C-alpha cells in the first residue's frame, strides 16, 4: 500500500483512451503495518516473506553495489517519497513481529521531511494482522480511518 501513495500515477495526455489520460495518483491513503524500507526489515518473520517476494535476501549489511541491494532498494516505498504524495495515515502495532513498528516510524519521518501530511497511530501491544492481536486498549483506528478519508476527500471534492 505504501508504494501506491508514493508512485507518480501521471496520466498520458497522448493516450487515445480518456481513462489513461487521467492521473492515477492517490489523493490519500491509510496503510496498516506495511513494509516501507525493505533493507531494514530485520529482525522479523516478514523478512523471509520478502525474500520470497523479491527473490533475494537482503539486510543493512548487504553491499550497496550488489544486485540484491539494488532490488530491495527499488522495491522500497520509502525511496519514492516526494512532496506531492497524498496524505498518509499509518496504523501499526508496536509488538508486530512480521513488519517491525520501526517501518512505520521510518515512513512517518520521511513523509514529514518531504512536507506530506502524515499521522502515525501506534497500537500498543498490537501484533501483525487486521485486528492487531494482543493490543492493549487499542485506539479506535477504524474511526480514525473514516475521519482521515472524510477530512481529506471531502476537502478535495469541495475545491473542484
Task: Give the domain CATH number at 126.
Answer: 3.40.50.1820
138 shares a domain with 123: yes
**Please, what is the average pLDDT of the chain?**
89
Distance CA 16, CA 140 (A): 45
115 shares a domain with 145: yes
| Total domain count, the chain | 2
pLDDT score of 2: 65
Q: Residues, the chain, total?
A: 160
State the residue range of the domain holding 71: 38-75
20 shares a domain with 93: yes
* Pick from 28-37, 58-67, 73-82: least confident: 58-67
42 shares a domain with 9: no
Residue 47's region, left for phi above 0, alpha for psi from -120 to 50, else beta, is alpha
pLDDT score of 122: 97
CB distance 126 to 94 below 8 Å: yes
**What is the reported pTM?**
0.84
52 shares a domain with 29: no
pLDDT score of 5: 63
119 shares a domain with 43: no
What is the dihedral sign for C-alpha 76, 55, 71, 22? Answer: negative
143 shares a domain with 89: yes
43 shares a domain with 56: yes
Name the percent of the chain lying above pLDDT 70: 92
88 shares a domain with 23: yes
60 shares a domain with 33: no
> Which of 75, 99, 130 is the last residue in one of the domains?
75
pLDDT score of 159: 64
94 shares a domain with 151: yes
120 shares a domain with 86: yes
Interval 67-83 mean pLDDT: 93
Residue 94 reports pLDDT greater than 80: yes
CB distance 22 to 147 below 8 Å: no
Amino acid at each position: 500500500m505504501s508504494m501506491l501513495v508514493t508512485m507518480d500515477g501521471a496520466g498520458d495526455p497522448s493516450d487515445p483512451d480518456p481513462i489513461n489520460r487521467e492521473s492515477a495518483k492517490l489523493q490519500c491513503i491509510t496503510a496498516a503495518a506495511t513494509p516501507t524500507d525493505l533493507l531494514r526489515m530485520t529482525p522479523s518473520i516478514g523478512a523471509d516473506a520478502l525474500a520470497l517476494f523479491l527473490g533475494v535476501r537482503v539486510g543493512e549489511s548487504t553491499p550497496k553495489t550488489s544486485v540484491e541491494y539494488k532490488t530491495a532498494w527499488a522495491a522500497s516505498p520509502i525511496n519514492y517519497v516526494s512532496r506531492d504524495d497524498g496524505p498518509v495515515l499509518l496504523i501499526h502495532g508496536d509488538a508486530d513481529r512480521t513488519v517491525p513498528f520501526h517501518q512505520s516510524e521510518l515512513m512517518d519521518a520521511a513523509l514529514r521531511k518531504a512536507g506530506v501530511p502524515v499521522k502515525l497511530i501506534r497500537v500498543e501491544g498490537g501484533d501483525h494482522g487486521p485486528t492487531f492481536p494482543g493490543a492493549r486498549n487499542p485506539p479506535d483506528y477504524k474511526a480514525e480511518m473514516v475521519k482521515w478519508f472524510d477530512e481529506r476527500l471531502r476537502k478535495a471534492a469541495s475545491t473542484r
